[in-house]
Chains A and B, each alone.
Chain A
Amino acid sequence: MTLKEFWHRLGSPRWFYQISGHFGWAFGALALGLLVIGTFWGLAVAPPDYQQGNSFRIIYVHVPSAILAQSAYMLMGAAGLVLLVWRMKLADMVLATTVPFGMSMTALALFTGAVWGKPTWGAWWVWDARTTSMLVLLFLYIGLYALRQAVPRQETAGRACAVLAVVGVVNIPIIKYSVDWWLTLHQGATFKLTESPSMPPEMWLPLLVNVLGFYCFFGANLVGRLRLEILRREHGTAWVQELMAGGRT
């Protein structure tokens, strides 16, 4: 199948539903494997930090969730563009199902950051550049969520969210840069303990495994939610009715 053909086929939620079942399981299994290995490696095998001791180990949850929070937003921006240009139904579903995931990842990143910050910086909350941009990202997610709730018609809500997501993606680099600028205006980068490039491989390898695991988890979550969303939105069509009837007997 050529790429163009694949793209055209994506226009059909039914086709996606039929092929995606296995993908969901594959992503789920990969996620489970990677996360178990990465977490065990990170928590039990990797050496403690010479300065932070064992408290640094929260990095194995903190960094993957922060990366996923941003990746999910980028995906939403791409899906928003696809929805606006090609009006692909599936893109709207991606947009709708990614918001809760991205929002929870952002919240998790902020929460683990606070927990990590307490022993390291001595405060639950510090107006550090990265923390602040994550907080703004959380507000962007909440805005998308609120807009979808507020617009009564589903199709209109999807396209309104698409415009907002695209505008958000354009703004994110500027927000990130301006917040970095703001920090350097206030104080030097004294807090960036994780930034040391001399982090040994036995510390960052499990991190990499966990990041990949989080991505696979995202994939599994997305596919699963998409399948549910397809069934929910297409429940009036003949193929879903047939599928449901078949499942019951």
Chain B
Amino acid sequence: MNGGLATAKPGTLFIAQLRRELTSILRSLAEALNPLVFLFLAITLFALGAGGDPETLGAYAPAIIWVLVLLANQLSLEAMFRRDFEDGTLEQLLLLARPLFIPILAKVCAQWCVTGLAMTLLSPIAAMMLYLPLDALGVTMLTLLTGSPAITLIGAVGAALTVGLRRGGVLLALLVLPLFVPTLIFGAGAIMQAVAGMGTSAQIYWLMAISMLSLTIGPFAVQAALRISLEQ
């Protein structure tokens, strides 16, 4: 097994790690669903706080959806490396897997499936709850689909940096939320443009560019951060 991990082809390594991550997520599904429940709970609280007025909610829906997606993602990040760190799997992975960024990428991929992708698929419900005009629904899903990889990748760097710390939760938020600013601006901005009936391709391209940049740099930053975190 160990020898297999060290000599496996990158593709095989990726698939094996992804399968392992997804299995592990499926076996503790309740935990994986918590961020999604949080998302809808927070939307309900927003609606209650605004008195359920369709006009107020509709006007703020792009911002509410995007901010809550960011927060729900951020909440789920803490668990990303936690269990593997505690039972020593992460250490084995760091010692054995070459190249290391491949399994990291698989981990990020699995994490994105249960957060970014799941939130994208559920966003129509969120949009209806917040009275977002139906015309903007497609753009909403598109911004979430193109923007959420960047969130997971940037967030993974923060999660890797704080995995060894006893109370990493608030610190993690402090580290990653400022880095989410561009994604939030382009994401919520595109939905607002769509509501106003204007073109949104520029923002979507920007979201894709940010995701691509994060994909290029992120795994290596996560790798460096994990090595540092496991030193102590």
Contacts and interface: CB of A to CB of B under 8 A. Distances in A.
A contact face: mostly helix, strand, loop, or mixed: helix
Interface-centre pick from B168, B181, B206 (highest chain A CB count, 10 A): B181
A12 interface: no
Interface stretch (A16-24, A51-59, A171-179, A222-230): A171-179
B171 A150 contact: yes
B58 interface: no
Interface in A38-62: none
Nearest to B210: A174
B189 A142 contact: no
A139 B185 contact: no
B96 to A, nearest CB: 22
A150 B171 CA distance: 8
B37 interface: no
B contact face: mostly helix, strand, loop, or mixed: helix
B54 interface: no
B175 A147 contact: yes
Interface string A163-189: 110111011001101110110010000
Interface in B152-203: 154, 157, 161-162, 164-165, 167-168, 171, 174-175, 177-179, 181-182, 185-186, 189, 192-193
Interface residues of A, number: 31
A182 B224 CA distance: 33
Contacts of B206: 178, 181
A160 B228 contact: yes
A136 B225 contact: no
A139 B178 contact: yes
B57 to A, nearest CB: 20
B45 interface: no
A156 B224 CA distance: 12
A152 interface: yes
B161 A171 contact: no
Interface string B76-112: 0000000000000000000000000000000000000
A84 B221 CA distance: 11
B221 A143 contact: no
B228 A179 contact: no
Interface string B214-232: 0001000100110011011
A181 B185 contact: yes
A140 interface: yes
Interface-centre pick from B161, B165, B189 (highest chain A CB count, 10 A): B161
